[in-house]
Structure 1
């Protein structure tokens, strides 16, 4: 199984998904600078982010939590609480950072260059773009009561319920099947 999944439809939500089960188990997927390097690579943001240390990890985690807080509480309303205002400021600050640079080499390969600032810039810009786009109205939280992953429902019908079938969707299907089988057998 892959360590990181990219099922949210948006970069900022996939980063937010690196903290799982926020209401119960609170599983941290970005536990070390090496975890962050692997996530950056899996997200195809930059080929080599350079030095990734504890400070870089903390910066990315702070933006992750800010993006999650912002999208969960948008629109802000007349008097947003200070945590949401801080999240908005954090996301806006990140969105002003430079973006990863993409170029083609002679063989047609895409070279993605940049460091942690560019990663933060890409995530911050994506969060701003999401909140300001028509896609925002299609943002949902997974229907699994334990899961807190957010995603944009890009399905034609707009009826997507699960963050992904590999985890939550299949778990629900299996549980429903077991329940139906149990009811049929009269147990």
Structure 2
């Protein structure tokens, strides 16, 4: 069952060509990968692809890079700040991997992990969403929307709830919260409740 979820997650997350409706499903080749093939844990919480083509998976017990054949795992031994629950991943064009965890934000650059200090010193908070917009990295944080500057997270938009997801559109920035959505445009925040 876990492999099916990973396969479905990959199918939803990655662009693919449409299936030939006249061809039986059994004629298609599928591959599945799980813990037996090196995935750190079966609950994949985040996926991204870097410019070199590697797939990165964030799980409840660590981070993994997949080259199409094998997984390379990264755990707390590689970076104590990794902790558990990799919540968000973003690979940028500068060969950097941004990692949102339950403990905060990390950067993997030149094969080294760097912790980004939280907005409030000695008070780690989850970085649950990541987005690159207009050349800067945005992170969903407990205070709303933050950006890393000089090794520290700084709030750029206060919200009444943590930003759990981020989406940039032509009409502004959207942030998902707990039971509601925030639309940010022109420096103003509009709150929209989710249906019951």
Q: TM-score, normalised by structure 1?
A: 0.27
The structure that is helix-richer by fraction is 1
Task: State the structure with bigger RCO (CA 8 A, min sep 6), 1 or 2.
Answer: 1
Q: TM-score, normalised by structure 2?
A: 0.27
The structure that is strand-richer by fraction is 2
